[in-house]
């Protein structure tokens, strides 16, 4: 019986081979080649037999068992090797950076529970961050307190407050002067245990009475905005971050000299180190509008700092990013829902403002230096401030300086 898997020759020679007939080397060489496979004769001798073969199409090295090795194959192999080298280099670079970010995320001090209190405003559109600079001296030695001109005051108070809104229309940075005359909602005094009714006072007094929790509640109560994330940094962390990124460039259109803060800068551009930067953002006695002028300086500096920290050199170099992260984490306090990714997103938004993709402003005011039982205060413009906060809550373009 004939085996269908056996190949029998037509003349019955008994030559059997498994599967399709496989020709010997001599048989393969004797068969005519297809037109596309036939070699092109060499006409360098002038015989007229055909065109000359271009040697550039073939490698200089001997042919392989599968035929001549073409030049483009060697180039493709070199490209693959180059891609491999680049991939390894990126892995070696990004590995330490990724490790630094994972470590940094575990070091965030998530002390503020924004969901601990009821009666909060409903969620609006976009995201609202509250960025607070506190006068905490934690981490500073006696000599550093003296050199930084920050005095010896105890406790922890707010030195600056910026409301940062991100949404469909870019980023808006709104400074809230610390002497703003606001209503502090009903709360329990941690020292006395008493629960005073809502009362008028300076905005930074809410921080003194009840820390970040009461500050957030007070801002939500007076603006109608829900705060989604909270970020606070003290003096030591501020100085450390500025030094870790190699200083922050700042250009001034007039000279600044303030004995209380230690600021002493001529007109022009400067690369401020941590000590100089702290003096710059704290000085207000040389500003024509006092605290309002200082808040504008703080916004300008924060945008410049975010831009400096977001340089590829800083983000991709472990020798720079790790010290920068370590310097800020010591005094950085955030809410319980904060992650390093969200924090980085916030700083990118601040950086966008410095690149012109956003608005910087103070909350509209109707009076500065108004005398009250609590001292000199700043009063918000009722109509314009309501329009501003309503625009932020609904993620609409913010009104211009005129409030229109």
> pLDDT truncated to tens, each residue of the chain (404 aa)?
444 444 444 444 444 444 445 555 455 555 555 554 445 454 444 455 455 555 555 445 454 444 455 555 566 666 666 665 555 454 444 455 566 666 667 777 889 999 888 889 999 899 999 999 876 656 566 766 666 655 555 556 677 899 999 998 889 999 999 899 999 998 887 778 888 889 999 999 999 888 999 999 999 999 999 999 999 988 777 888 888 788 889 888 888 888 777 888 899 999 999 888 888 888 865 555 566 767 878 888 888 887 777 665 555 455 555 566 666 666 688 999 998 888 888 888 888 876 777 888 889 999 988 999 999 999 999 999 999 999 999 999 888 654 44
Pairwise CA distance, residues 304 & 283, whole Å: 17
Check if the beta carbon of residue 116 is closer than 8 Å to that of residue 216: no
- At 45 the pLDDT is 46
R_g over Cα of the chain = 36
Query: Can you tell me the distance from the alpha carbon of 275 to that of 330, in angstroms, rounded to the nearest whole number?
Result: 17
* Tokens matching residue 331: 């005094």
> Residue 321's pLDDT is what?
55
Query: 310: burial class by Cβ within 10 Å (0-12, 13-18, 19+)?
Result: middle
> What is the reported pLDDT for 290?
60
The torsion angle over the Cα atoms of residues 308, 312, 315 and 316, rounded to 10 degrees, is -150
pLDDT on residue 2: 47
Q: Report the C-alpha gap between 353 and 135 in whole angstroms.
A: 25
What is the structure's pLDDT at 24?
A: 53
pLDDT at position 208: 86
Question: Whole-angstrom Cα distance, residue 350 to residue 344?
Answer: 10
Structure tokens at 270: 């400067």
HSE-CB at 206 with a 13 A cutoff on CA atoms is 30
Contact between residue 159 and residue 134 where contact means Cβ atoms under 8 Å apart:
yes
Geometric angle at alpha carbon 401, from 396 and 404, rounded to 5°: 60
- For residues 282 and 147, give the distance between their C-alpha atoms in angstroms, rounded to a whole number: 14
CB 94 within 8 A of CB 358: no
pLDDT at residue 4 in the model: 44
């Amino acid at each position: 019986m004939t085996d269908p898997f056996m190949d029998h020759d037509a003349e019955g020679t008994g030559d059997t081979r498994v599967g399709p007939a496989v020709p010997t080397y001599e048989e393969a060489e004797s068969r005519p080649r297809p037109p596309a496979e036939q070699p092109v004769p060499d006409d360098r001798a002038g015989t007229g037999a055909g065109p000359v073969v271009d040697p550039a199409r073939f490698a200089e090295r001997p042919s392989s068992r599968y035929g001549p090795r073409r030049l483009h194959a060697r180039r493709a192999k070199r490209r693959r090797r180059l891609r491999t080298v680049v991939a390894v280099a990126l892995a070696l670079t990004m590995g330490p950076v990724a490790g630094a970010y994972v470590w940094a995320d575990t070091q965030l001090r998530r002390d503020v529970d924004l969901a601990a209190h009821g009666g909060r405003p409903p969620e609006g559109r976009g995201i609202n961050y509250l960025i607070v600079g506190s006068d905490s001296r934690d981490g500073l030695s006696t000599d550093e307190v003296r050199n930084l001109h920050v005095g010896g005051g105890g406790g922890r108070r707010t030195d600056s407050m910026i409301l940062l809104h991100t949404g469909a229309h870019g980023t808006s940075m709104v400074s809230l002067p610390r002497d703003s005359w606001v209503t502090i909602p009903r709360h329990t005094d941690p020292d006395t245990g008493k629960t005073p009714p809502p009362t008028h006072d300076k905005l930074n007094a809410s921080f003194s009475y009840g820390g970040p929790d009461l500050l957030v509640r007070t801002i939500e109560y007076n603006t109608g905005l829900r705060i989604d994330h909270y970020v606070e940094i003290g003096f030591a962390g501020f100085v450390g971050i500025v030094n870790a990124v190699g200083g922050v460039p700042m250009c001034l259109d007039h000279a600044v000299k303030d004995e209380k803060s230690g600021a002493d800068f001529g007109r022009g551009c400067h690369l401020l180190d941590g000590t100089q930067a702290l003096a710059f953002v704290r000085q207000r006695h040389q500003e024509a509008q006092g605290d309002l002028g200082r808040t504008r300086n703080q916004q300008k500096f924060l945008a410049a700092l975010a831009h400096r920290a977001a340089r590829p050199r800083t983000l991709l170099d472990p020798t720079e990013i790790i010290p920068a992260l370590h310097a800020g984490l010591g005094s950085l306090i955030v809410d319980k829902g904060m992650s390093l990714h969200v924090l980085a997103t916030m700083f990118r938004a601040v950086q966008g403002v410095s690149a012109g993709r956003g608005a910087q402003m103070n909350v509209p005011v109707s009076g500065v230096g108004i005398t009250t039982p609590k001292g000199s205060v700043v009063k918000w413009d009722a109509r314009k401030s309501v329009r501003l906060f309503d625009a932020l809550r609904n993620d609409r373009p913010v009104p211009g300086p005129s409030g229109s």
